[in-house]
């Protein structure tokens, strides 16, 4: 049997996906299902003075109309700050204010238009810096009363939802002795995930009180836990069902539409209620990607060694905290990027504003952090007149170095310098980083390094069970959700490898049902293949031990002498002497009819190793399980006359430990780079003077289109992650992390101005080119 590791096995979900036979949550039609629709706020910050619902209630087919008054409770992932429907006050444009439930969706939408709301507008907070001013209005005056987990540190009486402090070495002293220092201030507005499937949840309550939630969620167990905590339902009385998800990118982690769907169902006797976002609601009513304002100072010796960093990240969490508080925390503990900087002083804050609220977004704090750090390193390279690749190589983090939280990296650490050299080579950095093509066209290159560790609780877990069919094929059940990454194929490869069988012989159950599937933290943070993979391997090992126990008697030998491979259990030194697994996995039957053993069920589990909380004053601790390191390089072509451009090449070199499935791995990296191009060049909300979103449709919120994609060059380095499954580490998000830095570097080089904002649109480029200090066209 050939090894299953390192093979591009075809995706298990391919036949259904290409035939339109996958059933996403929105494809389900339950008997008696009612349809909900939301009325959302038309203003960004206001007191609600009156809501008239009578006309809506009178419409035929309407079963109920609900407002914040009906549901006096707060829900929140880490910090309980959010009502299911706005109560007394709205905090962002698009916030749900009322919900209608009707016999069909059309009626529900029609009824929504019959509700009228009166607002009394309040002063607005337009940015994190404004929110931190002395006299800024408080978006959450009741913050002191909010329930929160211990790792999150809200600052009542201010607009700060959380602050992560990192103090390592003596940054002030290092700055005092520095040969050179630079400072950069960066900023970008919030945006959105734009998963192609809008979020949807269907809730019902059975007669015995069992709450059934079907949801397009990355986090079925998280939904269960948070619903239990915030809605006071025992966990055992909640079942969350998560089938395949039409794209997540962080936007379907945590808690989304589920609590409101449940409350609506509860108000209507437990009948199934479907709450589905329109695209517009998916973009602004549900959470998106955080915006940022930041300041980075670096100190260095004249030889390029960076000696200190002073960093301030102000994440724009919008009206509610959601995941943004943890995003700020992740950016805080990863604050220097993958560089060995001995002295660090960093404050990373999650700050409330009157923008749509923010949640996890692919890269989780690292993409935002990376942009600011990579730009700063380019500023430093310019000041030192050093090659940006060499300056980075001079400072890359390696095994034995301490992270900003003073966690010393072990030998499992990837080889960043090799990644950097290979990414630079892929875009032919050595042939020059800027070239004039003709009078008005320039080609320019940029590079970046990145790192990312999963931002997970210290007790993050995974589990798996393995059972067998009569034909000895294997059923694997885990709590992992398929969100596009191809996890079931990866899992099948690991299981098949361990048993020495073909991946075809492994069936992975593709729906998570929280009271049937074993517990799993969340499908997020690029940790699924690592952790669920470990659990699956341990479940297989457990099953193998049981197979040997059953087979030892009929094979008349000690269990230790047995080997299980290729669909057989046999005596290691007499391989011909053995049994087919078909004869063993459901119990062995002797020729006279006597039977022993019984069905084999393997159990496996994994829990993160040696993670700790971080010290609130210094950040000391071990928050990152495994760091995936890598580098990216891009080449762009800019027309200096009007700022139009194309991204020509995009290269990524990543140290992934082991490549389990080359095509799936490449797919993750290419997809992440594409998302990174969109993030850098166009994806951002635009606001009017009253902080209302102007582009909440895909017509004017642009994402990358077919034909705009560059040539992708993907390369993997394999420094083993020895505690990973077959030495593999996570790779799902990392490809996005370095893109803003690399692209901004290339565009800056093209126009001869250091660009410090996102998105880098043609108009922004044009303005920079034609402002003082820019290279003039031609």
Partner 1 sequence: MKRYQGLCEIGLTINGRARRVTLRPADTLLRTLRDTLGLVGTKMGCENGDCGACTVLLDGLPVKSCITLTLDAEGREVTTIEGLRDSVIQQAFVEAYGFQCGFCTPGVILNAYALLNHDNNPSAETMRSWMESNLCRCTGYEPIENAIKLAASKLR
By beta-carbon proximity to partner 1, the closer residue of 103 and 582 is 103
DSSP class of 143: G
Give the single-character DSSP code of 586. T
How near is the Cβ of 440 to partner 1 at its closest, in Å? 23
Determine the Cα–Cα distance for residues 64 and 115; give it in Å rounded to an integer: 12
The CB-of-174 to partner 1 minimum distance in angstroms stands at 41
Hey, which residues does 349 pair with through a beta bridge? 163, 314
User: How far is the C-alpha of 288 from the C-alpha of 294, rounded, in Å?
Assistant: 19
DSSP state of 693: B
What single DSSP character describes residue 618? T
Q: Minimum Å distance from CB 16 to partner 1?
A: 8
138-159: b (≥16 Cβ within 10 Å) or e: ebbeebeebebeebbbbeeebb
The residue (of 193 and 297) whose beta carbon lies closer to partner 1 is 193
Q: Quick one: what does residue 24 bind among ligand FES, partner 1, none, with the CB cut-off 5 to 8 Å set by partner type? A: partner 1
What's the closest the beta carbon of residue 21 comes to ligand FES, in angstroms? 15
Residue 289 vs 585, nearer CB to partner 1: 289
Enter the DSSP assignment of 771. Answer: S
Strand ranges across the sheet with 474-478? 506-508, 474-478, 461-468, 601-607
Find the radius of gyration of the CA atoms of the chain: 27
Q: Which does 21 bind (CB under 5 to 8 A by kind): partner 1, ligand FES, none?
A: partner 1
Nearer to ligand FES, 360 or 670 (CB): 670
Pattern 484-503, ligand FES, x by CB under 6 A: x-------------------
- Contacted by 76, from partner 1, ligand FES, none: CB < 5 to 8 Å by type: none
Q: Which helix (H) or strand (E) holds 607?
A: strand 601-607
Cβ atoms of residues 687 and 124 within 8 Å: no
Asked whether 365 and 327 are in contact (CB, 8 A), the reply is: yes
HEC string of 370-395 equals: HHHHHHHHHHHHHHHCCCHHHHHHHH
DSSP, residue by residue, 620-681: -S---S--EEEEEEEEEEEETTT--EEEEEEEEEEE-SS-S-HHHHHHHHHHHHHHHHHHHH
Of the two residues 128 and 484, which places its CB atom closer to ligand FES in the complex? 484
- 244, interface contact from partner 1, ligand FES, none, CB < 5-8 Å by kind: partner 1
Q: Which of 6, 61, 137, 247 binds ligand FES (CB under 6 A)?
A: 247
By beta-carbon proximity to ligand FES, the closer residue of 164 and 218 is 218
Give least dist CB 510 to partner 1, A: 12
- In the complex, the smallest distance separating the C-beta of residue 197 from ligand FES, rounded to whole angstroms, is 8
Compute how many other C-beta atoms are within 10 angstroms of the C-beta atom of residue 457. Answer: 16
428 exposed, middle or buried (CB, 10 Å; 0-12, 13-18, 19+)?
Answer: middle
Query: What is the closest distance, in whole angstroms, from the C-beta atom of residue 671 to ligand FES in the complex?
Result: 8
Q: Which two tokens stand for residue 670?
A: 């290419």
Nearer to ligand FES, 196 or 580 (CB): 196
CB of 12 vs ligand FES, minimal distance in Å: 15
| Contact by Cβ (8 Å): 166, 332 | yes
Exposure pattern of 713-733 as b/e (b: 16+ CB <10 Å)? bbbbbbbbbebbbbbbbbbbb
In the complex with ligand FES, which residue's Cβ is closer, 252 or 355? Answer: 252
Residue of closest CB approach to ligand FES: 196
User: In this complex, which beta carbon is closest to partner 1, that of residue 238 or of residue 245?
Assistant: 245
Contact 444, 749 (CB under 8 A): yes
Of 58, 94, 25, 428, the closest CA to residue 261 belongs to 25
- Say whether residue 667 binds ligand FES (CB under 6 A): no
Distance CA 388, CA 303 (A): 13
CB of 523 to partner 1, least distance (A): 12
- Token output for 725: 């499954």
What pairs with residue 288 in β-bridges? Answer: 358
Q: Which is nearer to ligand FES, 180 or 196 (CB)?
A: 196
Q: Which does 674 bind (CB under 5 to 8 A by kind): ligand FES, partner 1, none?
A: partner 1
Cβ closest to ligand FES, residue 427 vs residue 481: 481
Q: Which does 178 bind (CB under 5 to 8 A by kind): ligand FES, partner 1, none?
A: none
Distance of alpha carbon 296 from alpha carbon 346, whole angstroms: 9
User: Please, which residue, 21 or 641, has the CB nearer to partner 1?
Assistant: 21
Minimum Å distance from CB 279 to ligand FES? 7
Residue 29 CB, nearest distance to partner 1 (Å)? Answer: 7
Q: Minimum Å distance from CB 81 to partner 1?
A: 29
Instruction: From 434, 367, 336, select the one nearest 634 (Cα to Cα).
Output: 434
CA 338 to chain CA centroid, Å, is 19
CB of 654 to partner 1, least distance (A): 15
CB contact set of 632 (below 8 Å; sequence gap of 6+): 423, 447, 448, 450, 650, 651, 652, 653, 673, 735, 738, 739, 741, 742
Shortest Cβ 526–ligand FES spacing (Å): 17
Nearer to ligand FES, 196 or 437 (CB): 196
Q: How far is the CB of 17 from ligand FES (least distance, A)?
A: 8
Task: Give the interface with partner 1 as residue ranges (CB under 8 A).
Answer: 8, 10-11, 13-24, 26-27, 29, 193-198, 244-249, 278-279, 483-486, 663-664, 667, 670-675, 697-699, 703-709, 712
- Binding to ligand FES (CB under 6 A) within 180-209 occurs at 196
Shorter beta-carbon distance to ligand FES: residue 484 or 624: 484
Instruction: Name the minimum Å distance from CB 484 to ligand FES.
Output: 5
CB of 448 or CB of 650, closer to partner 1: 650
Which residue is listed with tokens 């009166």? Answer: 118
Question: Out of partner 1, ligand FES, none, which partner does residue 667 contact, by CB within 5 to 8 A per kind?
Answer: partner 1
Binding residues with ligand FES: total (CB under 6 A): 3
Q: Which is nearer to partner 1, 491 or 569 (CB)?
A: 491
What's the CA gap between 351 and 730, in Å, rounded?
29
Which listed option, partner 1, ligand FES, none, makes contact with residue 144 (CB within 5 to 8 Å by class)?
A: none
Choose the contact partner of 23 out of ligand FES, partner 1, none; CB within 5 to 8 A by kind. Answer: partner 1
Q: Is 546 helix (H, G, I), strand (E, B) or coil?
A: helix
Least separation in angstroms between residue 715's CB and ligand FES is 23
**Cβ-based nearer residue to ligand FES, 13 or 374:** 13
For 145-156, the three-class secondary structure string (H helix, E strand, C coil) is HCCECCCCCCEC
26 binds, among ligand FES, partner 1, none (CB under 5 to 8 A by kind): partner 1
Cis peptide before 759 (omega within 30 of 0): yes
Footprint on this chain of ligand FES (rule: CB under 6 A): 196, 247, 484
């Amino acid at each position: 049997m050939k090894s299953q590791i390192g093979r591009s096995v075809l995706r298990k979900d391919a036949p259904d996906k290409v035939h339109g036979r996958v059933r996403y949550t929105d494809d389900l039609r339950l008997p008696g299902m009612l349809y909900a629709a939301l009325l959302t706020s038309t203003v960004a910050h206001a007191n609600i003075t009156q809501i008239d619902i009578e006309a809506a209630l009178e419409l035929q087919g309407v079963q109920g109309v609900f407002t914040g008054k009906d549901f006096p409770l707060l829900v929140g992932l880490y910090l309980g700050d959010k009502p299911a429907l706005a109560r007394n006050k709205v905090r962002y444009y698009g916030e749900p204010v009322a919900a209608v439930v009707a016999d069909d969706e059309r009626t529900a939408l029609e009824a929504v238009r019959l509700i009228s709301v009166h607002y009394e507008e309040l002063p607005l907070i337009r940015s994190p810096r404004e929110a931190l001013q002395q006299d800024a209005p408080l978006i959450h005056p009741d913050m002191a009363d909010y329930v929160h987990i211990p790792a999150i540190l809200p600052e009542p009486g201010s607009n700060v939802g959380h602050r992560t402090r990192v103090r390592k070495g003596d940054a002030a002293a290092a700055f005092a002795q520095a040969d050179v220092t630079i400072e950069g201030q960066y900023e970008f507005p919030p945006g959105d995930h734009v998963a192609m499937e809008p979020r949807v949840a269907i809730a019902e309550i059975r007669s015995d009180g069992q709450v059934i939630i079907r949801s397009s969620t990355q986090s079925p167990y998280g939904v269960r836990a948070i619903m239990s905590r915030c809605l006071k339902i025992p966990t055992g009385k909640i079942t969350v069902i998560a089938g395949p998800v039409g794209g997540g990118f962080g936007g379907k982690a945590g808690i989304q539409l589920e609590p409101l769907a449940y409350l609506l169902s509860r108000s209507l006797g437990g009948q199934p209620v479907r709450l589905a976002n329109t695209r517009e609601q998916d973009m602004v009513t549900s959470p998106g990607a955080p915006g940022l304002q930041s300041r980075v100072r670096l100190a260095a010796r004249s030889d390029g060694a960076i000696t200190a960093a002073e960093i301030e990240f102000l994440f724009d969490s919008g009206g509610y905290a959601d995941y943004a508080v943890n995003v700020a925390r992740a950016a805080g503990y990863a604050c220097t990027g993958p560089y060995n900087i001995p002295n660090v002083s960093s404050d990373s804050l999650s700050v409330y504003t009157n923008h749509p609220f923010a949640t996890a977004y692919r890269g989780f704090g690292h993409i935002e952090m990376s942009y600011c750090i990579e730009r700063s390193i380019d500023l430093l390279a310019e000041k030192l007149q050093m090659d940006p690749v060499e300056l980075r190589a001079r400072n890359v983090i390696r095994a034995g170095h301490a992270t900003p939280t003073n966690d010393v990296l072990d030998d499992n650490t990837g080889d960043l310098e090799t990644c950097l050299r290979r990414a630079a080579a892929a875009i032919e950095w050595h042939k020059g980083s800027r070239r004039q093509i003709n009078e008005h066209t320039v080609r320019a290159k940029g590079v970046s390094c990145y790192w990312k560790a999963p931002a997970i609780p210290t007790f993050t877990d995974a589990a798996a069970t393995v059972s067998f069919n009569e034909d000895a094929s294997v059923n694997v059940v885990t709590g992992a959700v398929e969100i596009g990454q191809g996890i079931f194929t990866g899992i099948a490869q690991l299981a098949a490898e361990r048993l020495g069988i073909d991946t075809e012989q492994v069936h992975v159950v593709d729906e998570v049902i929280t009271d049937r599937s074993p517990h799993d933290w969340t499908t997020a943070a690029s940790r699924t293949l690592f952790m669920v993979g470990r659990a699956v391997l341990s479940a297989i090992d457990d099953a193998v031990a049981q197979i040997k126990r059953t087979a030892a008697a009929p094979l008349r030998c000690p269990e230790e002498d047995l080997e299980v491979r290729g669909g057989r259990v046999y005596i290691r030194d007499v391989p011909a002497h053995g049994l087919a697994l078909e004869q063993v996995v459901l119990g062995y039957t002797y020729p006279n009819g006597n039977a022993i053993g019984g069905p084999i069920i393997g159990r496996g589990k994994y829990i993160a190793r040696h993670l700790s909380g971080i010290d609130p004053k210094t950040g000391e601790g071990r928050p990152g399980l495994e760091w995936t390191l890598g580098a990216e390089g891009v080449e762009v072509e800019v027309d200096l006359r009007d700022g139009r451009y194309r991204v020509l090449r995009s290269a990524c070199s990543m140290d992934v430990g082991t490549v389990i499935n080359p095509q799936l791995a490449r797919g993750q990296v290419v997809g992440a780079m594409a998302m990174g191009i969109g993030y850098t060049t166009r994806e951002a909300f635009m606001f009017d003077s009253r902080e209302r979103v102007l582009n909440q449709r895909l017509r004017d919120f642009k994402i990358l289109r077919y034909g705009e994609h560059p040539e992708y060059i993907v390369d993997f380095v394999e420094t083993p992650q020895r505690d990973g499954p077959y030495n593999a580490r996570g790779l799902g998000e990392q490809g996005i992390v370095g893109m803003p830095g690399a692209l901004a570097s290339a565009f800056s080089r093209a126009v001869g101005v250091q660009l410090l904002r996102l998105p880098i649109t043609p108009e922004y480029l044009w303005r920079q080119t034609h402002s003082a200090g820019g290279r003039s066209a031609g």
